A and B are shown apart, each in its own frame.
Chain A
């Protein structure tokens, strides 16, 4: 299939357009909501802060929300691209592979048994959970002669998710008082999270982005198959490990900031490939941008769907993503 944006000039233009779109969505996210404001107020909140309700909302609630959505969206988009390339599985996603469930379980264990509530510790625990479940699912999915197959991976992911979920539920039943705070976190949201959440993990996010782009070219080679890549002199194991590390950093830090949010990483690489073709570097860039767009849009929509209550954004993305997932699964896996 020919890509929509066929030459580099168009691709760069596309990036520009996406940045404009992101700017507009950020503005919308800043201004619209239960407390309606205008851009005047938004600017005033920073230039001449007067302590009014609206100014506080903008500074304390909306700005963190926009920044969270942007950075988590980029992370999820890039993680999706890496994951789909690494597993050569077009329906790979952090949610399907149990990374989210693992991170969530670890956090609930930390809250229930160790009474941990500090942000920095939260971050590390989420990382650890994502890494552990990711490694388990990856190993389980690649057992056997024919290596990693989509069905094996999907089933392994589903089983680990089921195990993590029931362990988590069990703990929540045992420890009723923590249910409320954990539940909100578990449903995934970019709102209501303070800026410190993001600040503490942003260095990891940034380094993972850089790592991912450095890996783009080796991964392009790897996509031709392990044997070809080896024949071309690539140390495939090293590339895979590095990609794995990047995925864990990306998904772990997004979980730490926003809780489990699935299916963004499933959708974006497909859309990105539709726009820019198969060159990994462009796919990654576009997938990251699309992730941010998707998450910002979903977050804005989440405020209005069930006003005045808010739909958890993880639920929104799952409900958007699953029809897409089913479409891809139906279309056939062999074509990738």
Chain B
């Protein structure tokens, strides 16, 4: 097996094939993400050189720099990375399961479900601690995923029905959100709109700590199910004849997808098109095998959100534009390109 690194820990009980090219590309992506994070940490009202930032990171910066980097900018950067990674992983799973390269949790209403839950929370439970927002969004995403799956079920779930019903649910979620916002006082309206477009403005260390275990755990879980995703991509008939429990696997995978989406939406709001964009770039680089593409998608998602957030912070300073505006500006043309490329599918 040329091009693979084979690991056999123990006495051949288990073995891993690691694709060398994938390892290389993933390492480069990780490095790029780190570099981008360092650059972004240095940018803003007060600029710091990347070297200064590095000095702070290893604990050798002066007091003012420490405060600036660690207290003000770090949470936002970390959350950006986690949100991007969650969204991208969710997108990769969904595209694998739905077998449609144009599907993603934001287009199929899963993010919308999280939004309904979160906006309800923001508007009606003003006195309750904001800490409860992530679980609420998470719950919303999961419920919507159940609803979507249930409604698309008719002797099994076909990707076609899933897509159409998903789009319907997305619009329904949008209608409910509009209704909630129209009823609410002016001050909350702006808050809700900002949040809806997707923004990681004003996140805290607590937010980062809160979603870190979810993002990491769920992506690992997704990676463990990589082989099942690969089988799903062959189509229902082939996967069933391979002895795979197609519907059960699909259900669990979609549940992981919902959880990842909920995690991301709970702190970042609806940042659209990242989930669509990142898996495609990853597959271009390392091929369609899900185990290879998943970690790389996550890194690319993180990179996209980092860059978009940097632009959002700096370009229109002092106004903070929601990140979602920029991810859409890049994502939508790409989506159109995808439609064009898949025109004969």
Interface residues of A (CB under 8 A from B): 91, 95-96, 140, 143-146, 150-152, 154-163, 165-167, 169-170, 172-174, 176, 179-180, 183-184, 186-187, 262, 306, 309, 311-312, 314-315, 318-319, 322, 325-326, 329-330, 333
Are A170 and B167 in contact (CB-based, < 8 A)?
A: no
Within 8 A of A (CB), among B138-191: 151-152, 154, 160-161, 163-165, 167-172, 174-176, 178-179, 181-183, 186, 189-190
Are B178 and A167 in contact (CB-based, < 8 A)?
A: no
B339 CB-CB contact with A under 8 Å? yes
| A143-B343 Cα distance, complex, nearest whole Å | 5
Residues of A within 8 Å of B107, CB to CB, are 155, 158-159, 162
Interface of B is mostly: helix
Q: Closest 3 A-B residue pairs measured CB to CB?
A: A144-B343, A170-B325, A318-B175
Are A186 and B165 in contact (CB-based, < 8 A)?
A: no
| A160-B328 Cα distance, complex, nearest whole Å | 10
Contacts A162-B272, A314-B175, A319-B175 given; does A170 touch B168 at CB 8 Å: no
B340 CB-CB contact with A under 8 Å? yes
Chain A nearest Cβ from B154, distance in angstroms: 6
| A262-B329 Cα distance, complex, nearest whole Å | 25
Please, which residue of chain B has its CB at the minimum distance from the CB of A262?
A: B171
Chain A nearest Cβ from B193, distance in angstroms: 6
Residues of A within 8 Å of B106, CB to CB, are 162
Chain A nearest Cβ from B177, distance in angstroms: 9
9-residue interface stretch from B248-256, B290-298, B315-323: B315-323
Are A311 and B179 in contact (CB-based, < 8 A)?
A: yes
Are A169 and B193 in contact (CB-based, < 8 A)?
A: yes
Are A167 and B171 in contact (CB-based, < 8 A)?
A: no
19 A-B residue pairings within 8 Å (CB atoms): A143-B343, A144-B344, A145-B344, A154-B163, A156-B339, A159-B107, A162-B106, A163-B328, A166-B327, A173-B322, A174-B321, A184-B182, A187-B178, A322-B171, A326-B165, A326-B168, A329-B165, A329-B168, A330-B151
Count the B residues whose beta carbon is within 8 Å of the partner chain — how many?
56
B65 CB-CB contact with A under 8 Å? no
| A183-B181 Cα distance, complex, nearest whole Å | 9
Within 8 A of A (CB), among B196-231: 196-198
Contacts A155-B163, A170-B321, A173-B194 given; does A315 touch B179 at CB 8 Å: yes
Task: Specify which of A161, A186, A329 is in contact with B178 (CB 8 Å cutoff).
Answer: A186
Give 14 A-B pairs besides A187-B179, A330-B161 with Cβ atoms closer than 8 angstroms: A96-B167, A140-B336, A140-B340, A151-B100, A159-B102, A163-B332, A169-B197, A169-B325, A170-B197, A173-B193, A179-B189, A183-B189, A315-B182, A329-B161
Chain B nearest Cβ from A169, distance in angstroms: 4
| A55-B268 Cα distance, complex, nearest whole Å | 50
Please, which residue of chain A has its CB at the minimum distance from the CB of B339?
A: A140
Contacts A154-B163, A162-B106 given; does A169 touch B196 at CB 8 Å: yes
Task: Specify which of B164, B319, B332, B344 is in contact with A160 (CB 8 Å cutoff).
Answer: B332
Are A150 and B343 in contact (CB-based, < 8 A)?
A: no
Residues of B within 8 Å of A184, CB to CB, are 182
B72 CB-CB contact with A under 8 Å? no
Task: Specify which of B164, B181, B342 is in contact with A329 (CB 8 Å cutoff).
Answer: B164
Are A166 and B324 in contact (CB-based, < 8 A)?
A: yes
| A166-B321 Cα distance, complex, nearest whole Å | 11
| A185-B263 Cα distance, complex, nearest whole Å | 32
B335 CB-CB contact with A under 8 Å? yes
Residues of B within 8 Å of A159, CB to CB, are 102, 107, 332, 335-336, 339
B8 CB-CB contact with A under 8 Å? no
Residues of A within 8 Å of B344, CB to CB, are 144-146
Please, which residue of chain A has its CB at the minimum distance from the CB of B102?
A: A155
Are B172 and A322 in contact (CB-based, < 8 A)?
A: yes
Residue of A150, A157, A160, A163 with highest tally of chain B CB at under 10 A: A163
B345 CB-CB contact with A under 8 Å? yes
Residues of A within 8 Å of B174, CB to CB, are 165, 318
Chain B nearest Cβ from A227, distance in angstroms: 20
Are A150 and B319 in contact (CB-based, < 8 A)?
A: no
Residues of B within 8 Å of A143, CB to CB, are 339-340, 343
| A108-B25 Cα distance, complex, nearest whole Å | 43
Chain A nearest Cβ from B104, distance in angstroms: 10
Chain A nearest Cβ from B221, distance in angstroms: 28
| A176-B189 Cα distance, complex, nearest whole Å | 10
* Binary contact track B76-112/A, C-beta < 8 Å → 1, others 0: 0000000000000000000000001011001100000
Residues of B within 8 Å of A169, CB to CB, are 193, 196-197, 322, 324-325
